[in-house]
Amino acid sequence: MNLSDDKKKAYRRSMWRNQGLGMVFVVPFVLFFVLYTLVPLLMGIGLSFFDYNPNKPDKMAFVGLLNYIDLFGTTNESLEITFVKPFWESLINTILFDLIAVPLLMIIPLLLAQLINYHPPGYKFFRAVLYMPVIVSITVAGMMFTSIFGESSTGLINGLFGTNIRFLTDTGWRWFVMIILSVWWQTGTTFVIFSAGLRDIPQSLYEACEVDGGGKLSKFFHVTLPGLRGQIDLCLFSTLINYLNLYGQPSVIRGATIYDTMFDSPMMLIQYSLKALPRWTGFICAMAVVFGIIVMAFSIAEKRLMGKQKGGNVHEKNFAVFKSLQK
């Protein structure tokens, strides 16, 4: 009886010791999350219902949904020019950026992964080279692209060809540079995911497709693409959400003015507005909340789509569809 009690006490002590060790690692993360994520988030949502100026906190006034109403249609011309029009323009610009950059970031890594999957000479070297940009910070990448696309003789391209193209200050050219920067910087991550997916597709499906008269295009469209459906969905929606939060690329492209880059994305507009125009902090918080809801909608869509990938052998199901099309 005493021996059993001693074992129970020893077990309890061991359990409390293990839980205490786990708490040592968990508590700092929870505190960091609460202090630097949850509290600012709740404060931002709360301030969006107020007319608030941090320089004059005593004049803080509750306005209810007025900030949100003004964001979707205000009669205040100054507010319209300063915030409302730039917000919706920057959101449209970000969506257009997604429509161009995201397909490129899907197609290029997929074709490269397909090529490397055939193990051509030197494929290990090229695989390492493709992934190298991923380990470069966005700040360093921005400095590199600024030196390449700088104006006049300061830029490599303008210096080599004797041109004076305003890559960094002209809106159209700056977006061109940001798209190239984004694709170059993130191709390695998408390439690795696609490469892993290609190795997971059974070789027997390619052989069966060949026996049934399928050529290279049939293999690609009826075996490879369906077999990579999960990876494509993951990369597609994670990239969409990442680019909706576009901030790093515009902020590291040197040469453009703050007024130019604030139209590049809602994140840039919100960041600069909070610094330059604290008088409108409440309205700016409302912009941030609306933008957060849009990003959240994409996140929910991603989870629902990814949830449909669970269950069953997706490769066998996809090839069964291919077989049915041949009949």
Residue range 310-315: mean pLDDT, rounded: 48
- Among residues 290, 292, 287, the alpha carbon closest in space to that of 269 is found at 287
Q: How confident is the model at residue 318 (pLDDT cuts 50, 70, 90)?
A: very low
Q: What is the pLDDT of residue 104?
A: 92
| pLDDT tens for each residue of 149-168 | 887 667 888 888 888 888 88
Q: Please state, in angstroms and rounded to a whole number, the distance separating the CA atoms of residues 132 and 120.
A: 19
Give residues with Cβ within 8 angstroms of 257, minimum separation 6. Answer: 169
Most confident of 26-40, 131-145, 279-293: 279-293
Residue range 257-274: mean pLDDT, rounded: 72
Contact (CB, 8 A) for 266 and 90: yes
Q: What is the DSSP letter of 311?
A: S
Q: pTM, whole model, 2 decimals?
A: 0.74
CB atoms under 10 Å from CB of 127, counted, come to: 16
Q: Please state, in angstroms and rounded to a whole number, the distance separating the CA atoms of residues 6 and 25.
A: 29
Q: What is the DSSP letter of 278?
A: G
| pLDDT tens for each residue of 195-231 | 999 988 888 888 888 887 778 888 888 888 888 888 8
Q: Hey, where are the domains in the chain?
A: 2-38, 66-326
Burial class (CB within 10 angstroms; exposed 0-12, middle 13-18, buried 19+) of 216: exposed
Q: What is the pLDDT of residue 43?
A: 94
Q: How confident is the model at residue 108 (pLDDT cuts 50, 70, 90)?
A: very high
Residue range 72-86: mean pLDDT, rounded: 83
Q: What is the pLDDT of residue 259?
A: 56
Most confident of 45-59, 87-101, 217-231, 255-269: 45-59
Count, residues in the chain: 327
The share of the chain scoring above pLDDT 90, in percent, equals 17
Assigned CATH class of 66-326: mainly alpha
| pLDDT tens for each residue of 167-183 | 887 778 888 888 898 88
Q: What is the DSSP letter of 38?
A: I
Residue, of 295 and 306, whose pLDDT is higher: 295
| pLDDT tens for each residue of 22-74 | 677 778 888 988 898 899 999 999 999 999 998 888 889 999 999 999 998 87
Q: How confident is the model at residue 1 (pLDDT cuts 50, 70, 90)?
A: very low
280, pLDDT greater than 70: yes
Q: What is the pLDDT of residue 91?
A: 87
**Separation of first and last alpha carbons in the chain:** 75
Q: What is the pLDDT of residue 9?
A: 63
134, pLDDT greater than 60: yes
Q: What is the pLDDT of residue 16?
A: 61
Return mean pLDDT, the chain: 80
Q: What is the pLDDT of residue 237?
A: 80
Q: Please state, in angstroms and rounded to a whole number, the distance separating the CA atoms of residues 201 and 223.
A: 8
Q: Cα Rg for the chain, rounded, in angstroms?
A: 26
